[in-house]
């Protein structure tokens, strides 16, 4: 019987630029086991802050397009947007897909489609600071995994097997209300489980079935987390069948090629 479980890790302090996030996580876990067969899911803000992917609005000079977009959003009755914040969103975007109803739907430089290019206000870094997505979230996941392997090996006195590392953000969806956590960076877990063409329990070919298992894991982690608490990290057990020693293709493999997308 498969049993899936997820628990939030308490006691992780506020993260600042330059912090060794993997070390903070290992310290917070104490004697709780972490390793092979587990997924360590991290809300991206902790990763972004550790990497210094934070922008102070005071140093941003909005260009003409940012000022124009901010004015249009205000005119449409959307949430008031600081033109400097809009400039930061534009800097993070490869393409603006929609700017309606006070919302900017962007394709980020990485290829993610989400509101405001993933740029968030930071509660902890002050009202004047914005948190960006990590520069290369798959690389961030690989680095954290490698650092965990080193730290866990040291602790156990042997070469340790590292958990998979999953970095998530909350994205809105088309057609449905509410946000859902999805994976933006991944190492050591397959992002997709491809059953197309395989046979089912009846020996018949399964219909097109191509499961976004890493996104499902990100959604699971968010359910184990209380939004008002400082719990960026969740440990998931029970996904061994999707894990690998190799880092694998990362979350980039989840991004539909723009040319293949029916909704632009």
Residue 92 in contact with a copy of itself, rule: CB under 8 A: no
Centre a 10 Å sphere on the Cβ of residue 59 and count the other Cβ atoms it contains. Answer: 8
* Residue number with CB closer to a copy of itself (135 or 200): 200
Binding residue for a copy of itself, selected from 61, 204, 245, 246, defined by CB under 8 A: 204
Binders of a copy of itself among 219-238, rule CB under 8 A?
219-220, 222-230, 238
Both tokens of 18, joined, read 């330059």
**CA distance linking residue 188 with residue 234, whole number of Å:** 16
Shortest spacing between CB 165 and a copy of itself, in angstroms = 17
Residue 161 in contact with a copy of itself, rule: CB under 8 A: no
Binders of a copy of itself among 173-192, rule CB under 8 A?
173-182, 191-192
Binding residue for a copy of itself, selected from 6, 106, 162, 189, defined by CB under 8 A: 6
**CA distance linking residue 72 with residue 87, whole number of Å:** 14
Binders of a copy of itself among 124-143, rule CB under 8 A?
124, 127
Residue 201 in contact with a copy of itself, rule: CB under 8 A: yes
Helix (H, G, I), strand (E, B) or coil at 139: helix
Binders of a copy of itself among 8-67, rule CB under 8 A?
8, 10
Centre a 10 Å sphere on the Cβ of residue 29 and count the other Cβ atoms it contains. Answer: 18
User: What separation in angstroms does the CA of 16 have from each of 21, 47, 51, 52?
Assistant: 9, 9, 8, 7
């Amino acid at each position: 019987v498969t049993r899936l479980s997820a628990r939030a890790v308490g006691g992780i302090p506020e993260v600042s630029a330059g912090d060794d996030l993997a070390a903070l996580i290992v310290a917070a876990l104490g004697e709780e086991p972490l390793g092979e067969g587990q997924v360590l899911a991290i809300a991206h803000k902790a990763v972004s802050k550790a990497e210094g992917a934070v922008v102070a609005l005071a140093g941003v000079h909005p260009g003409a397009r940012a000022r124009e977009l901010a004015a249009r959003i205000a005119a449409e009755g959307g949430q008031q947007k600081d033109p400097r914040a809009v400039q930061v969103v534009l800097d993070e975007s490869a393409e603006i897909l929609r700017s309606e109803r006070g919302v900017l739907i962007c394709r980020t430089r990485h290829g993610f489609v989400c509101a405001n290019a993933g740029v968030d206000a930071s509660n902890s870094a002050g009202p004047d600071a914005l948190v960006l997505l990590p520069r290369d979230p798959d690389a961030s996941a690989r680095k954290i995994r490698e650092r965990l392997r080193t730290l866990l090996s040291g602790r156990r006195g042997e070469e340790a097997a590292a958990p998979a590392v999953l970095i998530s953000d909350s994205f809105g969806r088309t057609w449905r209300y509410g946000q859902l956590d999805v994976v933006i960076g991944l190492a050591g877990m397959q992002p997709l489980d491809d059953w197309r063409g395989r046979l089912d329990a009846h020996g018949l070919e399964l219909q097109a079935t191509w499961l976004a298992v890493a996104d499902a894991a990100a959604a699971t982690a968010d359910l184990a987390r209380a939004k008002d608490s400082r719990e960026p990290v969740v440990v998931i057990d029970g996904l061994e069948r999707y894990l690998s020693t190799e880092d694998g293709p990362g979350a980039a493999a989840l991004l539909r090629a723009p040319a293949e997308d029916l909704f632009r």
